[in-house]
A = this chain, B = another copy of it.
Amino acid sequence: MNQECSCDKCELKELFFHNVTSKEIMSLCGSRVEKNYDKGDCIIEQGTTINEFIYLKSGLVKLYVTNTDGKEQILSFAKPFDFVSLLSVFSQNTYSYSVMAIDESTTCNISIHDVKKLLQNNGPFAMGILEKMSKVSDAVINESLQIRKRNLRGRIAYVLLHFRNDIYNSDYYELPVSRKEIAEYIGMTTENVIRALTEFRKDGIIKIFGKAIEIVSYKKLVQISEHG
């Protein structure tokens, strides 16, 4: 809460606002708050009022919407340096999706009012935000298209590669999500997610130890992702 301001040392600063001087960033410091979340903690709840601009300093989160029938659809997984409260911030008063930590996470929260004030007065800062926002939206939309054009096996391969390449950079990793959550992400049933994983295991493409995955044949996984 009242921590010593350390924004000028923040390793995230330049990534976001590479056109903005240290001094300008510092001006946000007064209202800046860091928050820690455990796995499973809710960071943003769909429907609540937006009054902070939130980005992820460390950890991993899922963005999802809850439908009227109670079912959840996962929009995207966000990793550090991704703005978490990005998509709706400038167009709506309330969040149209929820965000939950799927790993221990730290966010940096800034009063939306202060961000807007800075935007008005600082062109390069505005450009930085626009660029980042454009990138994040693009990524979410592209992800959705990628998933939609694949069948079950292709979708599972795509997800495994997504974690491999975009999150963990390793052929061995712990899935940060349940089979059910993978199902909610790719729009298929939990049972079929499990069946596809089992198939891949039986074909020697991956090894499975509970939540841990080892990619044995990266090549085959890419092929399945691309051609079903």
Q: Which residues of A contact B (CB under 8 A)?
A: 65, 67, 71, 73, 75, 87-92, 96, 116, 119-124, 126-127, 129-135, 137-138, 140-142, 144-145, 148-149, 187
A144 touching B144, Cβ below 8 Å: yes
A119 touching B129, Cβ below 8 Å: no
A88 touching B145, Cβ below 8 Å: no
Using known A-B contacts A90-B131, A91-B134, determine if residue A71 contacts B149 with beta carbons closer than 8 Å.
Answer: yes
B142 touching A141, Cβ below 8 Å: no
Contacts of A130 in B (CB 8 A): 90, 119, 126, 129-130, 133
20 extra A-B contacts, CB within 8 A, seeds A67-B149, A73-B148, A140-B141 = A75-B141, A87-B137, A87-B141, A89-B134, A90-B131, A91-B132, A92-B138, A96-B142, A120-B123, A120-B124, A120-B126, A120-B127, A123-B123, A126-B126, A133-B134, A133-B137, A141-B141, A144-B148, A148-B148, A148-B187
Q: Complex formed: what's the CA distance from A116 to B148 in Å? A: 34
Q: Complex formed: what's the CA distance from A96 to B142 in Å? A: 9
Q: Complex formed: what's the CA distance from A186 to B196 in Å? A: 24
Number of copies: 2
Contacts of A137 in B (CB 8 A): 87, 133, 137, 140-141
Q: Complex formed: what's the CA distance from A102 to B143 in Å? A: 26
Contacts of A144 in B (CB 8 A): 141, 144, 148
28 A-B pairs within 8 Å (CB atoms) are namely A65-B145, A67-B149, A73-B148, A87-B138, A88-B134, A89-B134, A91-B134, A91-B135, A92-B134, A92-B138, A96-B138, A96-B142, A116-B127, A119-B126, A120-B123, A120-B126, A120-B127, A121-B123, A123-B123, A126-B130, A129-B130, A133-B133, A133-B137, A137-B140, A144-B144, A144-B148, A148-B148, A148-B187
